[in-house]
Structure 1
Amino acid sequence: MNIVQESLALNKPLSEAYLNDFSSVEQLYQYDAMAEASWRERLNWLQESEHLRIPRKQLVERLREYNRAHNPHEAVAASLDTLEKPGTVVIVGGQQSGLFSGPLLVIYKAVTIIKAAQQASQQLDHPVVPVFWIAGEDHDWDEVNHTYVLSPELSVTRVRIARETEQRLPVSLNPIASEEWEQAISELEQLLPETEFRPGLMELLRQVTEGVASLSDAFAKLMGSWFGKYGLVLLDSADPVLRELEAPVFERMIDDNDRLGAAYRAAADLCQTLGYQMQADVAEDGANLFYIHDSERLLLFKHHGRFSDRKGKVSFTADELKAELKEHPERFSNNVLTRPLMQDSLLPVLGTVLGTGEIAYWALTGSAFKAFGLRMPLLLNRESFTVIEGTLHKHMDKYNLSWNDVSNPEVFGQKREAWLAEQDGLHLDDRFEQIKQTFTELYDPLIEQLGDIQAGLIKLGTANREKIVEQMEYLRGRAKDALSKANSAGLRHFDRIEFSLFPQHKPQERVYNVFYYLNRYGSSWIDNLLGIPYDITGKHRIIYL
């Protein structure tokens, strides 16, 4: 395994500024994670602000129960024993619970959380526990119910658990039948080439899904099987018992709703003043809370002192909403802007691992943290990788393709066409253009002369010329198709490079599932990721296998 740093466009100007020019955006954030002093400053503040968070022992007691059921590793139990001790802090990061763990970036986020916690603990000489926040309260089923692998036929193929009707329940509450699990596992098995590792991987999937009713529970068991030995603590944001602990925080969000709303809007205005586009919606009347009603997760807005959804299905005064919270805390959940506040109200967060898009939208929460009596934690960029297998690397060398060539779709397409043109010993395009030009130069004067015989012959001759040229173009197309078929092996190499590294014109880590690589290299492949030195900048790196 060889690791090389290569650029990959972020397309997130605000994140780029945070990572590379913090002083230009420090009004939007709290700490510069690249400054060593920020780490000690944040740690000191956490020691002084224990009273602002949910009681540590109650939280750890629930996390023990949850992890015993889904992540029962002795290293996790040790992490929770450490977390229970006053003063212990965490590095946390979260993601939706995708099918079979979702895209590779989920694995990279977990790896980053573990490595960042290890480094922070050494740097500060202080206990730091890694925590993965499973976003089970999210309700976008179509966003998490599938995953992709590259089939042997070079097709970017989706494995999916579909629903006939739109589901707006939190993912953790959306039931999956045993036959649905088996169908999805069987589809994945058929798409993966037969290797020595495939039987064990399929057995692992059948174990983690046996008797499991939700995507989030299967996700937790799978993540635990890979990362439990590193002490990674798992938390499901839709856990109803955890929701009971969070009730006082939701009550504060209701009481301070106007102040929080104003803070989000002020941050949005500041972002725009600094020249950045907002990365999340900040509605003028948004309450930034969800309420579950009749199996539907409804986003609440505030009008004339009442909390209601856009369709008018529910409507509460603040007191009525708090009474509902007291009776049914499991019906409440955060939106993208209040989740960071809930995270810091639960956990002593030293730093949170985010993708570049998340770093951008967290800029909208800076003022809200202050309005809530909290401070935004250190924001750590998730590590980013592209995996290039040995055969793929050989193909790139054979066709003289650099990373910059492959990562630029326009350049890659030009390289492909240039290579194919080199295989054209007849110079088809030049020859056909020359023949067309010669033909029209000879034929056009004759058409004009035919008009002296009969005017209608000009129109007929013109149509005749166009048909002949059309037939020439048809022959050229057939000839080029034949050329492509004659060089299909080389073009297939180009396809493999493109589909392996930028499927659907996206970075590999945002599309493909980890099981493709585990099937090739075994489960130690994930362990090897933990051996790659941690880079706090999160700059993109290539893993040459």
Structure 2
Amino acid sequence: MYFHFGLQYQCMDCKTLNLSYAETGFFSKLALEYLSKDEKLRPFYNAFPSVAAIGDAIERRKKTATNRQLLVRVLQQQYEAVPASAKVAANLALLEKETTFTTVTAHQPNIFTGPFYFIYKILHAIRLAEQSKEWYPQYDFVPVYYMGSEDADLDELGHLFIDGQKMVWNTNQAGAIGRMTVDKALLELVDRIGAQTGVGPYGDEIGDALRTCYRPGISIQEATFGFVHFLFARYGLVVVIPDNAELKSVAASLFKDELKNSRSVAIVATTAAQLTAAGYKVQAHSRDINLFYLADGGRHRIERSGNRWQVVDTSHTFSEEEIMQEVDAHPERFSPNVILRPVFQEMILPNLLFVGGGGELAYWIQLKEVFNHYGIPYPLLVLRNSFLVLNRKQAVLAQKLGYRPAQLFRQLHELKNDWIKVHSEKDLDIEGALAGIKLVYAGLEAQAGPVDATLLRHIEALKTTTSKRIGELGKKMLRAEKRNHRDAMNQVTKLKEQLFPLNSLQERIENFIPFYAQYGSSLIDTLYKHSLGLEQEFVVLEEL
């Protein structure tokens, strides 16, 4: 147990090791070069996050007005649906002050939060807000989760993994995920999760929270709002549902300009060409109109033909005057896509730092000039925290097998080879034989060369073939020795599959619910305690 910022925390007994992201082998070239401050990326963002850069961001943000009264009014309305939290209420009050700024992370409302990193992103934003207060005590900082509830990719958001088992929400609903409602199929998933995790010490607690938040008929964005509030309210996290008429009214001029002039497509195309020339893969692709229209239970593209605007796959069509009036009357019907969503986010929040994953980092880096064009401060970009969590049994098994935490990121066959090389009593090293082969053929070359130089190519081919066959023999010996240690190899496989499901990072696949069922809120407290701010490292957390 420990205290921080007046709150009491109950943590798991654990130890941690920090690794560089490069050591893990799981992160993109762009993410790694951003962290190393590679000069090729410097034109695409304002400054790398640092204490001094936060101070500069504060000064930039002061020069841009935020409609704080509207923001707080909308948030207070949204919070009427969840249990009161003194910490959240205090942060909402702070947002009305011109000396308060935000640290933001954003994510779609995956069912039941989706992959584990959803939790890490939010805790990272909380940590940055608290550190910023330590560095700049004359200001206040509020952590925000911005819900990307208008995403319509059900294939991506409508499933989760519980202990390696994929669970899918089989619904017939379509359109923006956040506007879908909790139906019978989703409630059946709640029951399946409860049956699987309910045996844990805190299984009933997390199960009750799911049933409370995901009630029949409630929208997914409202259910997600309540569930995130349950998990993070005591940290003062503010959740924003931007799918709101008043919030979108703030961006009416942006929407109108996009519909009438399509400025963002040319700006993003120029940046994309520059990134491609610098050797980076373009993450997001711009459309002529980077807005969708929310209508008829769907999220539809808007296309312009001459002086008419057509909502694709619907009967909705507008003249220029009509669509401008539609923005004024019903801004909630317009949904910015990946190109304009970040701009809209920064228009409604007094933000300094944005916490995102590698993919988010990649598309934000495409957008600096769009921000510049509209005069919106571009935030500091922080690569989100990453964790690998080992429970006690897994930590003991890893130690028993003789693996250091950093080794666990190696491929399965490499882990098995590492174990055999350490534990086998057989001599499996063929390097000596290969060295001997080289000496033999070197002698033949010295002998045959003076006789006929053309024989050297034949000797080189023989050496290559012989070395290849010796190498194959070495692999066969290694495979045979693995069979001789089948039990140990099965343990290695089991550990690797548990920690890296589908050969990916644990955080990208597994949901947090089984962990919460085992540890309760101490899981969140422990992750919070070990969450980094600006350090930008990967954390391996082992339960003792």
TM over 0.5: yes
SS of structure 2 residue aligned to 1:97 = coil
- Which ranges of structure 2 fall in alignment gaps of 5 or more residues? 1-13, 429-475
- Change in Cα spacing, 1:490 to 1:423, as seen in structure 2 (3 Å) is farther
Partner residue of 1:142 out of 124, 149, 155: 155
Report the residue type matching 1:504 in the other structure: L
Once the two structures are overlaid, the 10-residue window that deviates more, 237-246 or 346-355, is: 237-246
Deviation of residue 397 (structure 1)?
2.2
- Matched residues in 1 for 2:150 and 2:402: separation? 47
* 1:342 counterpart letter in structure 2: F
1:246-395 alignment, distance < 5 Å: 246-255=251-260, 257-283=261-287, 286-304=288-306, 306-308=308-310, 314-395=316-397
TM-score scaled by structure 2? 0.81
The answer to whether the Cα contact below 8 Å between 1:75 and 1:231 also exists between their aligned partners in 2 is yes
Between the aligned partners of 1:174 and 1:56, the Cα distance in structure 2 is: 29
**Per-residue displacement from partner, 1:462-490 (whole Å, max 9, x unpaired)?**
xxxxxxxxxxxxxx9xxx9xx97x97754
Amino acid at match of 2:177: V
In the other structure, the counterpart of 2:452 is none
Partner secondary structure for residue 159 of structure 1: strand
Query: Structure 1 residues 334, 317: closer, same or farther in 2, change over 3 A?
Result: same
Match of 2:175, as an amino acid? L
Answer yes or no: is 1:97 the counterpart of 2:109: yes
1:26 aligns with 2:42: yes
Q: 1:210 aligns with which of 215, 236, 244?
A: 215
Deviation at 1:423, TM superposition (A): 10
Q: Which amino acid aligns with 1:392?
A: Q
In structure 1, the partner of 2:179 is: 173
Q: Are the aligned partners of 1:71 and 1:228 in contact in 2 as well (CA < 8 Å)?
A: no
Q: Which moved more, 1:74-83 or 1:19-28?
A: 19-28
CA distance in 2, matches of 1:408, 1:398: 17
Q: Residues 95-244 of structure 1: matches in 2 within 5 Å? A: 95-125=107-137, 126-150=139-163, 156-163=164-171, 165=172, 167-177=173-183, 179-192=184-197, 194-211=199-216, 213-244=218-249
Cα distance change on mapping 1:496 and 1:3 into 2, 3 Å: same
If the length of structure 1 is used for normalisation, what is the TM-score?
Answer: 0.81
The structure having more radius of gyration, on CA atoms, is: 1
Name structure 1 gaps, 5 residues minimum: 151-155, 428-475
Shift of 1:318: 3.9
Distance 1:180 1:324, change over 3 A: same
**3-state DSSP class of the match of 1:237?**
coil
Structure 1 residues 200, 11: CA separation in 2 closer, same or farther (over 3 Å shift)?
A: closer
Shift of 1:197: 1.5
Q: CA deviation at 1:133?
A: 0.4
Q: Which moved more, 1:226-235 or 1:312-321?
A: 312-321
Q: 8 Å contact 1:108–1:383 — kept in the other structure?
A: yes
2:91 matched residue in structure 1: 79
Q: State the match for 1:521 in structure 2.
A: 519
Deviation at 1:78, TM superposition (A): 0.4
Quickly say closer, same or farther: Cα 1:87–1:403, change in 2 above 3 A.
same
- Count of paired positions: 477
Where do 1:433-448 residues align within 5 Å? none
For residues 188-239 of structure 1, the C-alpha deviation after alignment (integer angstroms, 9 at most, x for no partner) is 1222272322122212211222355222222111110111111110011223
Verify the 8 A CA contact 2:145 2:237 in the aligned structure 1: yes
Aligned match of 1:502 in 500, 503, 525? 500
Amino acid at match of 1:376: Y
What is the root-mean-square deviation of aligned Cα atoms in Å? 2.9
Q: Secondary structure at the match of 1:397?
A: helix
Distance 1:159 1:416, change over 3 A: farther
Partner amino acid for 1:73?
A: S
State the alpha-carbon separation in 2 of the partners of residues 349 and 138 from structure 1: 22
1:140/1:168 contact within 8 Å kept: no
Q: Distance in 2 between matches of 1:423 and 1:169?
A: 61
Supply the distance in 1 between the matched residues of 2:153 and 2:124 (Cα, whole angstroms). Answer: 25
Query: Aligned residue for 2:59?
Result: 44
- The answer as to whether partners of 2:44 and 2:368 remain within 8 angstroms in 1 is yes
* Rounded Cα–Cα distance in structure 2 between residues aligned with 1:494 and 1:46: 51
Counterpart residue number, 1:452: none
Contact 1:247 1:325 in 2 (8 A): yes
Find the residue that maps to 2:39 and give its secondary structure: helix
Is residue 121–residue 127 contact of structure 1 (8 Å, CA) maintained in 2? Answer: yes
Change (3 A) 1:344 1:540: same
CA contact (8 A) 2:120 2:384 kept: yes
- State the distance in 2 between where 1:41 and 1:229 align: 30
Matches within 5 A, 1:365-514: 365-409=367-411, 411-412=413-414, 414-415=416-417, 418=420, 490-514=488-512
Work out the percentage of aligned pairs sharing the same amino acid: 24
Per-residue CA distance 1:335-393 (angstroms, 9 max, x = gap): 00101100111011111111111111111101101111123111111111000122112
Q: 2-side partners of 1:25 and 1:329: how far apart?
A: 35
Q: Report the secondary structure of 1:26's partner residue.
A: helix
The residue that corresponds to 2:31 in the other structure is 15
Q: Which amino acid is the alignment partner of residue 78 of structure 2?
A: Y
| 1:70 to partner: Cα distance | 3.4
Change (3 A) 1:419 1:158: farther
After TM superposition, the structure 1 stretch with the greater mean CA deviation from structure 2, 396-405 or 37-46, is 396-405
Offset of residue 313 of structure 1: 5.7
CA distance 1:354–1:523, shift in 2 (3 Å): same
Q: Secondary structure at the match of 1:393?
A: helix
CA distance in 2, matches of 1:332, 1:301: 13
CA contact (8 A) 2:129 2:142 kept: yes
